[in-house]
Copies of this chain bind each other. A is one copy, B any other.
């Protein structure tokens, strides 16, 4: 690899002179224009590329952002891309590390520490993981930004989408469409979505009855048992409760509902309106295409990096950044005649 010294040798100057010129301090250090020219040319000819590692050593800190997360699912990929794009724009590099279990967190943080990462991003951290990250990062000192996490914490900035408003608007839309018997399949860990449902129902003077609302647990990893339990609950909602619409706290949940409804002869959207949450690309591949509360994952990723850089520069950063969701109306819901 070609170094400063190589360039200096070819230009016939000291390597420090090269450094000054290449860092735009030629004026300040009064390097002769002719010398500058010579140095620039030598650098170009040799294809000089500064050693970022050496820089990090010299500066005492790098421009590497550690990114910790489960690295599972399409929406995480979208967030990661947002993070990556914005990081590239701001001359940061990324260092992703998979978190498969809470025990991975200290290891991952140690890795980031060894590279002297200037900051940490936690993607989709669940409650149990929050504490572990905080503990691991405490001795580290780099600022943390959490993206798409249900937990706010004064110790770090969080970037989220407004799923409460998104869910509320979705249910409002159903109510405006004449629906009254509206159910909710929520996810216990993502309480704001169910809260949005409840808010919309309450403001319309509707009282969700027992059996209309089910809160599933995300944590126990998706075994077939869980899948069946959810399916059974869905079936009960459809058959016993005869709901005309169901709000689902996630797109996969909504598509699972499609699967449950089909054999029961319940047509979507004619017999049942369904709205999900996520904005996954495959939601539009459902039969019918799924109406959904779309979350701006890509932008959330970008905002995460922006917030991190602000924090690094010492600027004041809002502790909680909330991006709006968008209700994407496709064809899994419809208006119904109002019944008395």
Which A positions have Cβ atoms within 8 angstroms of B? 1, 47, 49-54, 56-57, 60, 62, 71-74, 76-78, 80-81, 84-85, 88, 93-98, 100, 107-108, 110-111, 113-116, 139, 252, 255-256, 258-259, 262, 280-282, 285-289
Q: How far is the CB of A212 from chain B (nearest CB, A)?
A: 23
Structural contact, A74 and B74, CB atoms closer than 8 A: yes
Q: Answer whether A77 and B71 are a contact pair too, CB < 8 Å, given A50-B114, A53-B56, A115-B53.
A: yes
Which residues from chain B contact A286 at a C-beta distance below 8 Å?
Answer: 255, 285-287
Structural contact, A252 and B139, CB atoms closer than 8 A: no
Which residues from chain B contact A282 at a C-beta distance below 8 Å?
Answer: 252, 255, 280, 282, 285
Structural contact, A111 and B93, CB atoms closer than 8 A: yes
Closest chain B residue to A56, Cβ basis: B53
Partner of A98, one of B53, B88, B95, B96: B88
Can you report 14 residue pairs joining A to B where beta carbons are below 8 Å apart? A1-B60, A52-B114, A53-B54, A53-B116, A57-B57, A71-B80, A72-B77, A73-B74, A85-B100, A93-B95, A93-B111, A259-B287, A259-B289, A262-B288
Q: How far is the CB of A99 from chain B (nearest CB, A)?
A: 10
Structural contact, B54 and A57, CB atoms closer than 8 A: yes
The CA of A73 and the CA of B288, in the complex, are separated in Å by 21
Query: Which of A114, A282, A288 has most chain B Cβ within 10 Å?
Result: A282
Q: How far is the CB of A294 from chain B (nearest CB, A)?
A: 16
The CA of A49 and the CA of B280, in the complex, are separated in Å by 40
Structural contact, A84 and B71, CB atoms closer than 8 A: yes
The CA of A282 and the CA of B254, in the complex, are separated in Å by 12
The CA of A88 and the CA of B71, in the complex, are separated in Å by 14
Q: Answer whether A139 and B95 are a contact pair too, CB < 8 Å, given A53-B116, A71-B80, A114-B52.
A: no
Q: Answer whether A84 and B60 are a contact pair too, CB < 8 Å, given A113-B49, A252-B285, A287-B287.
A: no
Chain multiplicity (copies): 2
Q: How far is the CB of A85 from chain B (nearest CB, A)?
A: 5
Q: How far is the CB of A70 from chain B (nearest CB, A)?
A: 8
The CA of A57 and the CA of B55, in the complex, are separated in Å by 9
Which residues from chain B contact A285 at a C-beta distance below 8 Å?
Answer: 252, 255-256, 258-259, 282, 286
Structural contact, B77 and A93, CB atoms closer than 8 A: no
Q: How far is the CB of A63 from chain B (nearest CB, A)?
A: 10
Structural contact, A73 and B77, CB atoms closer than 8 A: yes
Structural contact, A85 and B62, CB atoms closer than 8 A: no
Q: How far is the CB of A334 from chain B (nearest CB, A)?
A: 15
Given contacts A255-B282, A259-B287, 7 further A-B contacts (CB under 8 A): A47-B139, A49-B114, A53-B115, A77-B80, A84-B96, A88-B108, A286-B286
Q: How far is the CB of A143 from chain B (nearest CB, A)?
A: 15
Which residues from chain B contact A1 at a C-beta distance below 8 Å?
Answer: 60, 116
Task: Report the 3 A-B pairs with minimum CB-CB distance, sorted nearest first.
Answer: A255-B285, A53-B56, A74-B74
Which residues from chain B contact A96 at a C-beta distance below 8 Å?
Answer: 80, 84, 94, 96
Q: How far is the CB of A195 from chain B (nearest CB, A)?
A: 26
The CA of A252 and the CA of B74, in the complex, are separated in Å by 13
Query: Which of A56, A84, A97, A285 has most chain B Cβ within 10 Å?
Result: A285
